[in-house]
Amino acid sequence: MAKKPDKVRRSEEEWRKALPPETFEVCRRQGTERAFSGRYWSSKEPGLYHCAACGAPLFDAAEKFDSGTGWPSFTAPVDETAVEGRVDQSHGMLRTEAVCAVCDSHLGHVFPDGPGPGGRRYCMNSAALQHERREKGGAEGE
């Protein structure tokens, strides 16, 4: 069993100082970037996507797919405990909000129409993600 990650907690003022404005807007104020405006929606680079606020690993690029929505989309998180789902009834819709399990940052939403075996579509904001390219042959033993 994967152990639950330790929580990162900061005041909103601390987050505001620590994060770029667009990341603060998405992660801490439940904002949504404009479709096709983010840096990752069309990216096919291999590697790992981390939380832009706290650095926790969230998604593997291998789970990324082209959803046609203009937002980076994934079929599953890197670990089932990495991303938490919460009921979101804002804007007159019933949706599942996706938040970082470590720092509670807003990432995007999860929809039940994904192409993978789990049938899920993690519709994320680029501003909430930080991509880390995995170098070939860079594997290190523990």
128 scored as a contact of Zn ion (CB under 5 A): no
Contact predicate 82/3, CB 8 Å: no
* Three-class SS state of 60: strand
Which residues have CB under 8 Å from 48's CB, separation 6+? 57, 59, 60, 61, 78, 131, 132, 134
Cβ 99 to Zn ion, closest distance in Å?
A: 8
**Beta strand 83-88 pairing with 73-74:** unpaired
53 scored as a contact of Zn ion (CB under 5 A): yes
103 scored as a contact of Zn ion (CB under 5 A): yes
Exactly one of 24, 26, 33, 51 binds Zn ion (CB under 5 A); that residue is: 51
One DSSP character per residue, 100-116 reads: ETTT--EEEEEES--SS
Could you tell me which residues are beta bridge partners of residue 130?
A: 50
Exactly one of 26, 54, 76, 110 binds Zn ion (CB under 5 A); that residue is: 54
19 scored as a contact of Zn ion (CB under 5 A): no
**Among 30-38, 47-55, 75-83, 114-122, the segment contacting Zn ion (CB under 5 A):** 47-55
Q: Which helix (H) or strand (E) holds 51?
A: strand 48-51
98 scored as a contact of Zn ion (CB under 5 A): no
Exactly one of 105, 125, 126, 130 binds Zn ion (CB under 5 A); that residue is: 105
Helices (H) and strands (E) in the chain, counts: 2, 9
Count the residues of the shown chain that bind Zn ion, applying the rule CB under 5 A.
8
Exactly one of 26, 100, 123, 127 binds Zn ion (CB under 5 A); that residue is: 100
Residues of the shown chain interacting with Zn ion in the complex, contacts defined by CB under 5 A:
51, 53-54, 56, 100, 102-103, 105
